[in-house]
Copies of this chain bind each other. A is one copy, B any other.
């Protein structure tokens, strides 16, 4: 792939890690935009970006990577999309897709750019540029949501993801993405918060080990971002919450009625699912 100029908008944990991975592992030029001037200074100082990006750069860039909250990403494209080249790829890093892809696709036709959706499947229970890392995506899955983009653009993003260290690229639709993410990511985050609200949580020290640590880890949440992500995928997430509560309720009923056979059967089913997956 020939050298491209890539503008990262929003240098938080994900945008910062994307910038660092691009600068460390690919030959491309990386520019960055952020509302916080200190973050921009830091990003230049550590080599994550070549320099701050400006509105005047937009007509010249090859890829615009929106690493903002979902609706802010759409707004940025609406405001600046017309300034881009017709061959400029606009992509995003949003954790939900139904609420952003159709809008960005529409804008791409209206304003003249190429849209390819994306979701890097990696994160941390801390936020901000300070905790971003070039190796955050090592071995992780890159969810590519082409939304009818031309093949060359899809291939560019796929190649770029692999150059950055992602372990695999999975192509999907916004609908399937959101259904799966509700289960694999949003539900565990909701669960972690619900779990630590028990009155027993503050006294867990000395009485806990790996299973407490693992379930509660992501309760250290960015509530502003996740409120938006949850509400913009509310049907799929609500369905997962119902499924989980039904399964918990079945376990509770077996416990309350001292029904050892049913309880053992439910736990066995859980074990068998994991074993079938080879996990």
Asked whether A248 lies within 8 Å of B245 as measured between CB atoms, the reply is: yes
Asked whether A221 lies within 8 Å of B256 as measured between CB atoms, the reply is: no
Within 8 A of B (CB), among A236-250: 237-238, 240-245, 247-250
Asked whether A184 lies within 8 Å of B196 as measured between CB atoms, the reply is: no
Report the nearest B residue to A143, measured CB to CB.
Answer: B207
Q: Measured between C-beta atoms, what is the minimum distance from A168 to chain B in Å?
A: 6
Q: Which residues of A does B touch, CB under 8 Å?
A: 121-123, 140-141, 143, 168, 170, 172, 177, 179-185, 187-212, 214-224, 226-227, 230-231, 234, 237-238, 240-245, 247-252, 255-256, 258, 260, 263-264, 266-271, 273-277, 279
Report the nearest B residue to A250, measured CB to CB.
Answer: B194
* A215-B188 contact in complex given A197-B269, A202-B277, A204-B180, C-beta closer than 8 Å: yes
Asked whether A243 lies within 8 Å of B198 as measured between CB atoms, the reply is: yes
Asked whether A279 lies within 8 Å of B220 as measured between CB atoms, the reply is: yes
Q: Measured between C-beta atoms, what is the minimum distance from A86 to chain B in Å?
A: 32
